[in-house]
């Protein structure tokens, strides 16, 4: 907890001036509320016994003083509410930026075991209450401290026995609050987890809405959602049970303080120990004492809400990226594309059974290499190791003779272009999506890339051309159109190494021919890895690797592999005969 609190406090650093200004106005506001009851005591104890003319003068003066005090209190509260909240919002934004930036650093291995909705929850709802905590937390603590200590000193001066009776309730309240706080902390954390589960379920259902509707399974999705919703309500029920005991108990105790003060005060009046004016003042200060106690009550709830969200925030921030630059990593550019696998083995963290085992492979710059084999033998995994989406478990991958782990990660990935079967296009225009391949490219560069990808003609058929909004994930485009935009994106990037991951397997024959032409144009003079499902698309490959569970089973051209009458011929016959 100490480490988390230290990290939480570090977010105040950029806003030190605003933070201390907020605390300054909180102190001034608290002092003002302590002064006003003293003026009331002065009026009831002294002023009412003056001569009439002096009473009028004193009341006029005190009216001006009290009006000024009210204006000061107004200004203090205005500053705290507006600028204090803005400080909290900016700090929350900084946290959100930090966690989003951290998400960008984490590898595929992390995302393989996570749900997008749960990750989204940590960026949004988990940090929602942190604004209130970061702003009101220190402010409420200092206001409460000043009011409680100030009230105690003033009340002690007015009547010591009655003061001690009043403040005897403080430790009782503290013990009561501590007990329920521990219960609420666990309950609030559980609420966060349930909200994350619901977000995951909603994200999953909405992302797959076309599948849901195609199977007419809206009712099934509704049942899944209702199940998660009921779990959330159940978690909330427990937290509200503790909150009810917490608030009602402390509310009863604060009311009891007032009752005890009145009864004890009346009793002291009968003995002449206290006068009416002092009892009235005492009751005003008791109210001044109860109000900060309530602030502390609210703070504890706010703290549990905000801190439980911050803990979940820190859970992510403390996950170290497993793939990052070495300390001695160097910048690289203009790689030729000679790639060498030396005894490369790999297995996923969740499954220690090796996917790749002692792979030996040399690919020359500009060579066109095809990978074929049954599903699950590691074709995509082998290619994912080149840009370090995953790191090898054993062995080394070299590009132009250099271990890729010695290269800066961003530079390495800038030298590799990937065209996948499942194209991901971002919400926005065609121009924006192609330019994603090179954010600094001009409009002319984007259009040139689109032409090379055979995409310019269909783009210009839209009324808005390159400014056409393509919808979420390119929903307004066909499969072939989306694929050609992804190829244009790689043309714009202009890398020396390419990976085509079954880029045409989901397309119809006509779209496949157009996309295949674009891919062949893109592959010219670049080191290219093609993961192929349809063997017809790689018959002209310079080299074909046949991967099996044993590793590289066969290697050669199409004709050589057919002549071997081995694994490749079996795959070929399965598709064409």
Greater confidence (342 vs 170) lies with 342
Q: pLDDT, tens digit, for every residue of 506-565?
A: 566 666 677 777 778 888 888 989 888 777 777 778 899 988 888 888 888 888 888 888
Q: pLDDT, tens digit, for every residue of 473-483?
A: 788 888 888 88
Residues 6+ apart with CB under 8 A from 255: none
Strands 402-403 and 394-399: antiparallel
Whole-number pLDDT of residue 214 = 63
**pLDDT at position 504 over 70:** no
CA pair distance 131, 95, nearest whole angstrom: 10
* Angle value at C-alpha 497, between 353 and 331, nearest 5 degrees: 90
Whole-number pLDDT of residue 430 = 92
pLDDT class for 377, splitting at 50, 70, 90?
confident
CA pair distance 572, 367, nearest whole angstrom: 23
**pLDDT at position 164 over 80:** yes
**pLDDT at position 183 over 60:** yes
Q: Residue 525 burial by CB count (10 A; 0-12/13-18/19+): exposed, middle or buried? A: exposed
pLDDT class for 352, splitting at 50, 70, 90?
low
Greater confidence (577 vs 300) lies with 300
pLDDT class for 252, splitting at 50, 70, 90?
confident
DSSP H or E run through 417: strand 416-420
Whole-number pLDDT of residue 7 = 86
Residue 432: both structure tokens together: 């924006």
Cβ count near 263 (within 10 Å): 11
CB 455 within 8 A of CB 377: no
- pTM score above 0.75: no
Helices (H) and strands (E) in the chain, counts: 20, 10
pLDDT class for 21, splitting at 50, 70, 90?
very high
For the sheet with 368-372, list strands across it.
416-420, 497-501, 527-531, 368-372, 543-548, 551-556
Q: pLDDT, tens digit, for every residue of 386-424?
A: 999 889 999 999 999 999 999 998 899 999 998 887 788
**Domains of the chain with bracketed CATH:** 2-317 (1.20.1560.10), 339-576 (3.40.50.300)
Q: pLDDT, tens digit, for every residue of 308-324?
A: 888 888 888 888 888 88
Average pLDDT, the chain: 84
DSSP H or E run through 339: strand 339-346
The closest of 29, 137, 143, 141 to 92, measured between CA atoms, is 137
CA pair distance 289, 150, nearest whole angstrom: 9
Greater confidence (214 vs 198) lies with 198
Residue 183: both structure tokens together: 């219960």
Q: Residue 235 burial by CB count (10 A; 0-12/13-18/19+): exposed, middle or buried? A: buried
Q: Any idea what DSSP says for residue 541?
A: -
Residue 568: both structure tokens together: 């490749």
pLDDT class for 45, splitting at 50, 70, 90?
confident
Greater confidence (401 vs 292) lies with 401
CB 526 within 8 A of CB 495: yes
Q: pLDDT, tens digit, for every residue of 99-118?
A: 988 888 888 888 877 877 77
Backbone φ and ψ for 333, nearest 5 degrees, come out as -155, 160
């Amino acid at each position: 907890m100490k480490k988390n609190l230290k990290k939480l406090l570090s977010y105040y650093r950029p806003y030190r001036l605003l933070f201390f200004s907020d605390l300054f106005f909180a102190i001034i506001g608290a002092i003002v509320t302590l002064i006003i009851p003293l003026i009331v005591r002065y009026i009831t104890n002294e002023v009412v016994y003056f001569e009439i003319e002096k009473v009028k003068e004193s009341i006029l003066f005190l009216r001006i003083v009290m009006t000024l005090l009210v204006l000061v209190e107004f200004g203090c509260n205005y500053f705290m509410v507006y600028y204090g909240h803005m400080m909290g919002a900016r700090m929350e934004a900084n946290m959100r930026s930090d966690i989003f930036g951290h998400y960008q650093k984490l590898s595929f291995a992390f995302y393989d075991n996570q749900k997008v909705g749960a990750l989204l929850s940590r960026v949004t709802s988990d940090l929602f209450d942190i604004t209130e905590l970061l702003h009101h937390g220190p402010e409420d603590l200092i206001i409460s401290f000043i009011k409680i200590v100030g009230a105690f000193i003033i009340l002690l001066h007015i009547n010591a026995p009655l003061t001690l009776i009043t403040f005897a309730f403080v430790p009782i309240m503290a013990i009561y609050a501590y007990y329920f706080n521990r219960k609420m902390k666990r309950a609030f954390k559980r609420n966060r987890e349930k909200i994350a589960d619901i977000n995951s379920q909603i994200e999953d259902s909405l992302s797959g809405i076309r599948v849901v509707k195609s199977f007419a399974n809206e009712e099934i999705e509704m049942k899944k959602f209702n199940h998660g919703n009921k779990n959330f309500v159940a978690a909330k029920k427990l937290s509200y049970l503790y909150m009810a005991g917490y608030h009602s108990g402390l509310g009863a105790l604060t009311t009891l303080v007032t009752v005890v003060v009145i009864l004890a005060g009346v009793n002291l009046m009968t003995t002449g120990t206290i006068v009416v004016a002092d009892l009235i003042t005492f009751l005003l200060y008791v109210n001044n004492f109860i109000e900060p106690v309530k602030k502390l009550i609210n703070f504890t709830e706010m703290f549990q809400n905000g801190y439980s969200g911050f803990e979940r925030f820190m859970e992510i921030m403390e996950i170290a990226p497993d793939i990052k630059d070495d300390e001695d990593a160097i910048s690289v550019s203009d790689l030729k594309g000679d790639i060498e696998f030396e005894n490369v083995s790999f297995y996923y963290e969740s499954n220690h059974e090796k996917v790749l085992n002692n792979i030996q492979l040399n690919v020359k710059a500009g060579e066109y290499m095809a990978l074929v084999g049954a599903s699950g033998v590691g074709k995509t995994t082998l290619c994912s190791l080149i840009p370090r989406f995953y790191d090898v478990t054993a062995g080394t991958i070299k590009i132009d003779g250099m271990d890729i782990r010695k290269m800066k990660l961003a530079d390495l990935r800038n030298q590799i272009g990937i065209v996948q079967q499942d194209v991901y296009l971002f919400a926005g225009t065609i121009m924006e999506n192609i330019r994603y391949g090179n954010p600094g490219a001009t409009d002319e560069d984007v259009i040139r890339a689109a032409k090379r990808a055979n995409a310019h003609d269909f783009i210009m058929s839209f009324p808005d051309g390159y400014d056409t909004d393509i919808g979420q994930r390119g929903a307004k485009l066909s499969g072939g159109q989306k694929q050609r935009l992804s190829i244009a994106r790689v043309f714009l990037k202009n890398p020396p190494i390419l990976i085509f991951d079954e880029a045409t397997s989901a397309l119809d024959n006509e779209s496949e021919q157009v996309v295949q032409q674009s891919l062949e144009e893109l592959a010219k003079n670049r080191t290219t890895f093609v993961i192929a499902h349809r063997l017809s698309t790689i018959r002209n490959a310079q080299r074909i690797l046949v991967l099996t569970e044993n590793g590289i089973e066969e290697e050669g051209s199409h004709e050589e592999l057919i002549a071997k009458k081995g694994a490749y011929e079996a795959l070929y016959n399965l598709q064409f005969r």
